Amino acid sequence: MSTFAIVIGVSFVVGTFVFSDTLSRSFTALVASGVGDVVVRPTDSNAANEPSTRTVDPGLVEAFGDVKGVARVDGNVRSAGVYVIGKDGKLIGGNGPPSFGANWTDAPAGHDLEGTAIIAGRAPEKADEVALDSRTASEAGYVIGQDVNLATATDRGALTAELVGIIGFPDGGSFNGATLAAFDTATAQDLFLDGQDAYTDIWVTAEPGTSQEDLAAAVAAELPDGVEAVPGDEVADEAATPIQEAVGFITTFLLIFAGISLVVGAFLIVNTFSILVAQRSRELALLRALGASKKQVNRSVLLEAFVLGLLGSTIGLGLGVLLAMGIRTLFAQFGLDLSGQPLIMAPRTVFAAYAVGVLVTMAAAFFPARRTTRIAPVQAMRDDVAMPVSSLRRRLLIGLVLLAAGGSALAAGLTGAVPRPGYFVGAGILAILLGVASASPVISYPLLAAAAWAYSKMFGSIGALAGQNSLRNPRRTTATSSALMIGLSLACTMAIVGDSAKASVDKTIEENFVADYIVSSLVGQPFSTGIGSEMAAVPGVQSVWAERFVYTQLDGEGQAIAAAEPAVMRDGLHVDLVDGDLADLGGDTVLLDEEYADDEGLGVGDDLEVGLADGPHTMRVVGVFAENPLLFSPIVTTTQTLIAAGHRDSDNFLIIDSDGRDGVKSALEAVVKDSPIVTVKDQEGLAAEQRKPIDQLVLMIFALLGLALLIAVLGIVNTLALSIIERTREIGLLRAIGVSRPQLRRMVTLESVVIAVLGAVLGVVLGIGFGIALMHALREEGLEVISVPFGQLVTFLVVSVVIGVLAAILPARRAAKLDVLRAIGAE
């Protein structure tokens, strides 16, 4: 079981690296196959997957034909926000990876990389024809010849087209969860460019022997103002940078849970070697008496740990591939589908597997091995292996020091008083957990004594024996329970964070829901402004207030910008200005959230650089507003400013007031019945929609913590099994004086329950402390409500009792099956 604990921890590390390497490689390949040798585009294009109205002249396609080194030229029309609706009426994709629409071309990717191709059917040739990527077509249930339902953010809204082709990668690959709907060029221009005869960009393919840089320079000489020629590799790097940052975040996120599993596994290994060393004290003493030095005895134990770590790492390496498949499946539920990608086993993954497995095992075995050298041979040959009281005092002192250091680090991290506060929070929590684990033999003694008393009253002599066995070696009991404590403390923390976040959302919506209905997109993408116009004409609707926001890039950093007209902010969003005048808001001006302005040191009259579709803009601050949850960005400008910069005229939110008559909501829903990406919500519906992603995140974290909890359960089983071996003679004597097998099984089960409940109690108490501290630190981020889900915490305690009972099944059965005479004769 110690090996299995190593296997689980190592497999988590391996699975994380395999998944992240696969994710990185697949996105890199996808981005590289999605650009030509040279890309001609509007200057200062802001690559943020935002639909844009900025275009290039189609006449350039012919103009580039005579440039030296040009093999072919292809015009592209692309836009995000084109969604496929399955036969069952459900949206395909949209959550996470983007949903694209484009004109179909067979232009080759840069460096002759294998790009997409029509792998079944044919390319779309006229209006009302479409080609879909293979995964989307399969998931939606469409086959060639059937009509496909689509929804767009354009004025066309919903449309239907016949499926005539299937797009895929002939040599393997996938769109990683993104969806692609391809049309003929004229239809794409009609949908995404309002019928303009133009392209969003142009691909220029190089002749063999011509480099991208040389071709870009040659093409640039033919370009008019406002257009640039960029080597394909540079464009791919621009697109890949934010993706790689996201992959890095996912890798760190998963490695945190791998680290938790390894820490929990280390407790199991420490306990195992401590018990084994104690059981073999006579053997080790005899080796000392025969001439073995302290170092040799120490090295013999560490060598066992090395072999154990080597074996666990090898098995974990193989199991890690299976775990990577599981992680891939888990993330596929959030739209990130890598099912068509081969898993990548990089050399660093193999190195990490053996380094982590061997080092963690040997480090965990170091102190038990070192303990053997402190006992004289004659003393160790006696049957007294109890830890001296002074060692418990030392553990208490170490635990208190760790608690003080951990509390200080946690406080510093949560208050943001140090650089990289996340590291301080993580280190503080780890130090507190280790501090409690170190001091638990002393601080848990009252609980163990109370359990022993309760057992004696409830279960008689067998209960008294179980209680005394738990008290016999509190260091071992608490070390085993500490593994469960770590997992449950983090689970309780997340339960409190999740419940508090949902309560905060409910409170914010209740206090700020100033309208009767909210209209928004399920996937956070914009939708046609025509929807708002239609809803304004619904009987009973008094006003419709529109808000827009965009995500852009500035100096490689993401930036969110909200937009609404001054009248909307005054009458619909009820923006409260603490400085400035709303009437001054116009072109190239912004309003700033009060807290954001303070953090950036900005005020009315100052300039702020903002990234828009056509590049950086220097905007003047004309007002500072108090916190407003209906504004989804600390930077607010006008809708016309976004449109002038090349952003598509569309909406993200509609705030609707009605006269209260019946049937208004049904009439509003009828407006968007053909577009499942847009929903109409009242206050309760909006709160439910906002709570859903919180629940999904908490469930994902619970799933990732599950491996750590599994190791903790194995630790209880392992400790009980080894203690049965250690107490073989004692068990034989108990059976000889009349203790029955059911009574023996009950005794072992009660011992297991004590360990599990102790770990659960410590975990729940620490989890409540961590959760409340974390939510208190986040109160400035809008999470003002601290809610402790006591029902869920009680469930954790009840489950811990069940865990204790289940963990005792095999050890109790083994104890009951011991032969009495052989057990009595055991040494």
Sorted by sequence, the CB contacts under 8 Å of residue 411 that are 6+ apart come out as 428
Residue ranges of alpha helices (H) inside 560-660 are 566-567, 594-600, 639-644
Q: Which of 139-143, 332-336, 583-587 has the lowest mean pLDDT?
A: 332-336
C-alpha to C-alpha distance for 525 and 653, rounded to whole angstroms:
10
C-alpha to C-alpha distance for 607 and 537, rounded to whole angstroms:
40
Distances (CA, A) of 539 to 530, 669, 715, 826: 17, 13, 66, 90
Higher-confidence residue of 306 and 674: namely 306
- The token pair at 329 is 């499946």
Q: What is the mean pLDDT of residues 79-87?
A: 85
Is the pLDDT score of 480 beyond 90?
A: no
Is the pLDDT score of 777 beyond 80?
A: no
Class of residue 603 by CB neighbours under 10 A (exposed 0-12, middle 13-18, buried 19+): middle
Q: Please report the beta strands in 573-716, taking only residues with DSSP state E, as ranges in sequence order.
A: 577-580, 589-593, 607-612, 615-625, 635-637, 650-651, 653-658, 678-681
C-alpha to C-alpha distance for 715 and 429, rounded to whole angstroms:
22
What are the tens digits of pLDDT across the range 660-711?
788 888 899 888 887 778 888 887 888 887 888 888 888 888 888 887 888 8
C-alpha to C-alpha distance for 233 and 231, rounded to whole angstroms:
6
C-alpha to C-alpha distance for 351 and 354, rounded to whole angstroms:
6
Phi/psi for 115 (5° steps) reads: -100, -155
Is the pLDDT score of 390 beyond 50?
A: no
In single-letter form, the type of residue at position 11 comes to S
Higher-confidence residue of 662 and 556: namely 662
Residue ranges of alpha helices (H) inside 524-579 are 529-536, 566-567
Q: What's the pLDDT at 350?
A: 92
What pTM was computed for the model?
A: 0.76
Question: Which H or E run contains 181?
Answer: strand 179-183
C-alpha to C-alpha distance for 529 and 156, rounded to whole angstroms:
10
Q: What's the pLDDT at 380?
A: 52
Residue 387's pLDDT band (boundaries 50, 70, 90)? very low
Q: What's the pLDDT at 379?
A: 58
Residue ranges of alpha helices (H) inside 537-650 are 566-567, 594-600, 639-644
- The token pair at 823 is 């057990």
Sorted by sequence, the CB contacts under 8 Å of residue 262 that are 6+ apart come out as 9, 12, 13, 356, 360
In DSSP notation, 211-271 reads -HHHHHHHHHTT--TTEEEEEHHHHHHHHHHHHHHHHHHHHHHHHHHHHHHHHHHHHHHHH
Class of residue 11 by CB neighbours under 10 A (exposed 0-12, middle 13-18, buried 19+): buried
Question: Which H or E run contains 161?
Answer: strand 158-168
Residue 385's pLDDT band (boundaries 50, 70, 90)? very low
Residue 183's pLDDT band (boundaries 50, 70, 90)? very high
Residue ranges of alpha helices (H) inside 280-333 are 281-289, 294-332
Q: Which of 174-188, 550-564, 737-751 has the lowest mean pLDDT?
A: 550-564
Q: What's the pLDDT at 782?
A: 65
Query: For residue 246, which of 403, 28, 455, 430 has the smallest C-alpha distance?
Result: 28
C-alpha to C-alpha distance for 73 and 54, rounded to whole angstroms:
19
In single-letter form, the type of residue at position 626 comes to A
Cβ–Cβ under 8 Å, residues 580 and 624: yes
Q: What's the pLDDT at 600?
A: 86
C-alpha to C-alpha distance for 763 and 797, rounded to whole angstroms:
10
Tell me what percent of the residues of the chain surpass a pLDDT of 70.
Answer: 92
C-alpha to C-alpha distance for 316 and 324, rounded to whole angstroms:
12
Is the pLDDT score of 258 beyond 90?
A: no
Spell out a b/e string for 25-43, using b for 16 or more CB atoms within 10 Å of the CB, else e.
Answer: bbbbbbbbbbbbbbbbbbe
Q: Which own/partner contact pairs does 91-95 have at CB distance under 8 Å and 24+ positions apart?
A: 91/151, 91/522, 91/523, 91/676, 91/677, 92/136, 92/139, 92/140, 92/179, 93/136, 93/177, 93/178, 93/179, 93/335, 94/179, 94/335, 94/522, 94/523, 94/525, 94/677, 95/334, 95/335, 95/523
Query: For residue 15, which of 261, 292, 211 has the smallest C-alpha distance?
Result: 261
Is the pLDDT score of 388 beyond 50?
A: no
Q: What's the pLDDT at 12?
A: 85
C-alpha to C-alpha distance for 406 and 420, rounded to whole angstroms:
16
Query: For residue 465, which of 479, 452, 448, 446 has the smallest C-alpha distance?
Result: 452
Tell me the sheet residues that pair with 658.
Answer: 541
Q: Is 208 helix (H, G, I), strand (E, B) or coil?
A: coil
Tell me the sheet residues that pair with 102.
Answer: 78, 182
Higher-confidence residue of 726 and 436: namely 436
* Strand pairing class (678-681; 527-528): unpaired
Cβ–Cβ under 8 Å, residues 771 and 788: yes
User: Which residue do the tokens 């040739």 mark?
Assistant: 125
Q: Residue 440, Cβ neighbours under 10 Å: how many?
A: 26
- The token pair at 705 is 């913590």
C-alpha to C-alpha distance for 439 and 400, rounded to whole angstroms:
7
C-alpha to C-alpha distance for 724 and 38, rounded to whole angstroms:
72
C-alpha to C-alpha distance for 41 and 55, rounded to whole angstroms:
7
Distances (CA, A) of 563 to 147, 288, 646: 37, 79, 14
DSSP state of 739: -
Q: What's the pLDDT at 377?
A: 67
Residue 790 CB-half CA count within 13 A: 0
Q: Is 533 helix (H, G, I), strand (E, B) or coil?
A: helix
Q: What's the pLDDT at 595?
A: 86
Is the pLDDT score of 111 beyond 60?
A: no
Tell me the sheet residues that pair with 593.
Answer: 625
Q: What's the pLDDT at 340?
A: 66
User: Which residue do the tokens 């997409």 mark?
Assistant: 116
Spell out a b/e string for 266-305, using b for 16 or more CB atoms within 10 Å of the CB, else e.
Answer: bbbbbbbbbbbbbeebeebbebbeeebeeeebbeebbebb
C-alpha to C-alpha distance for 457 and 466, rounded to whole angstroms:
12
Query: For residue 486, which of 713, 309, 323, 316 has the smallest C-alpha distance?
Result: 713
Average pLDDT in the chain: 82
DSSP state of 200: S
User: Which residue do the tokens 């390894």 mark?
Assistant: 262
Distances (CA, A) of 75 to 58, 72, 112, 197, 199: 7, 10, 18, 11, 6
Spell out a b/e string for 630-649, using b for 16 or more CB atoms within 10 Å of the CB, else e.
Answer: bbbbbbbbbbebbbbbbbbb
What are the tens digits of pLDDT across the range 500-515?
888 888 887 777 666 7
What are the tens digits of pLDDT across the range 122-138?
999 988 899 998 888 98
Q: Which own/partner contact pairs does 814-818 have at CB distance under 8 Å and 24+ positions apart?
A: 814/721, 814/724, 815/724, 815/731, 815/744, 815/745, 815/748, 816/741, 816/742, 816/744, 816/745, 817/741, 818/724, 818/728, 818/731, 818/732, 818/735
Is the pLDDT score of 184 beyond 90?
A: yes
Class of residue 583 by CB neighbours under 10 A (exposed 0-12, middle 13-18, buried 19+): exposed
What are the tens digits of pLDDT across the range 140-172?
899 999 999 888 877 667 788 999 999 887 766
C-alpha to C-alpha distance for 543 and 358, rounded to whole angstroms:
67
What are the tens digits of pLDDT across the range 630-659?
787 889 998 888 888 888 888 888 888 888
Residue 375 CB-half CA count within 13 A: 29
Is the pLDDT score of 554 beyond 60?
A: yes
* Strand pairing class (78-80; 99-103): antiparallel
How far does CA 482 lie from the centroid of its chain? Answer: 26
What are the tens digits of pLDDT across the range 409-448?
888 888 777 777 777 888 888 888 888 888 888 888 888 8
Q: What's the pLDDT at 354?
A: 92
DSSP state of 291: T
Q: What's the pLDDT at 737?
A: 82
